[in-house]
Structure 1
Amino acid sequence: MAEIGIRMAGELNQLEQEILLKIAREALIKSTQNQTLPEINLDDLPTSLQVNGASFVTLTKDDHLRGCIGTLEAYQPLALDVQEHALAAAQQDPRFPRVRFEEVEQIKIEVSVLTPKIPLEYKMPEELPEKIRPKIDGVVLQDGFRKATFLPQVWDQLEEPEAFLSHLCAKMGAPSNLWQKKLLTVYTYQVQEFQE
């Protein structure tokens, strides 16, 4: 197996993307049939899929979110990470009922592979909107034990940094204006996204 490390987004070629989408599709199908997921032989995969990586798998149906699960931390081989999150997005996203087998053909899969997150330094709350880069940065906000993230794709719906931050505060269960009232712990990351 490849030397354990953390991969950077933006490195996957077309073949590697297709392999990950196939792994995710197979996990989606098996999960709706209550079947065990196939064991992935990492030695048969490109090295880039054997290295630890962090991913999110997003499921959409008729252009509406149907499930999205992932991790910000690279703790297992990328191929296994995508398989695990495809299953979880289909069957364990608490916002949605489980995906049924009858829906599988209508579900579109998107995989996002994340770079390691980096802390974002700022001194005053009003500086924060200027420090994040729309359409580029995924953002993690943390206030004590509360934490939430938006992938960079969310900028498509929330184009203004202030709205992006307010919705992210609400997602973590805080008042939407919390980012304006105090300094929060903030991280940014980027993704390589691809879909079927």
Structure 2
Amino acid sequence: MNFTEKPISSKEVFKGHLINVEVQQVKTPEGNIAQREIVHHAPAVAILAITNDNKMLLEKQWRAPIAKTTLEIPAGKVDSRDQASVDHAARRELNEETRLQAGKLEKLSSFYTSVGCMDEYMTLYLATDLSPVTNALPKDQDEELVVKKVSLDEAQAMIASGEIEDAKTIMAIYYWQGMRANG
């Protein structure tokens, strides 16, 4: 079966700092006309940062869309400073948000964050052999972060209790669990 929809019209209805929103009229394979609302977002990175004492870094921060604080792994968008390099973005975000650098940075996976409405494509990294940065990059002025370290057992309990609700963070914790189970 052919699933491809054919756009009939498209209109950008919002252009912002973080996202752009497009409304499309499409023709479905069955010939129906439908509306699609699409959020365009820059590529992004997320970092499962494991300390030398085998703890992961989490960041507590306010998230306006859900009107509460969350616990998340370090993450951010790939921007002009990165010259389209997701590796550079991961190292930059780790520096900006945690003031640490990775002796080893390994790509784990790439995925779409919310395919029903958004085109954001995120790359998850594992950062190990962490040490303090020698040249701290400026922090984003609109971010207030508190970094904490937790063990795998603590992170799993935080998922079970609902304290961690962020999908990329849950994915990273389960990846870490799998790493530990496989040696």
TM-score by length of 2: 0.24
Q: Which has the higher strand share?
A: 2
Answer with 1 or 2: which has the greater Rg: 2
Higher helix share: 1
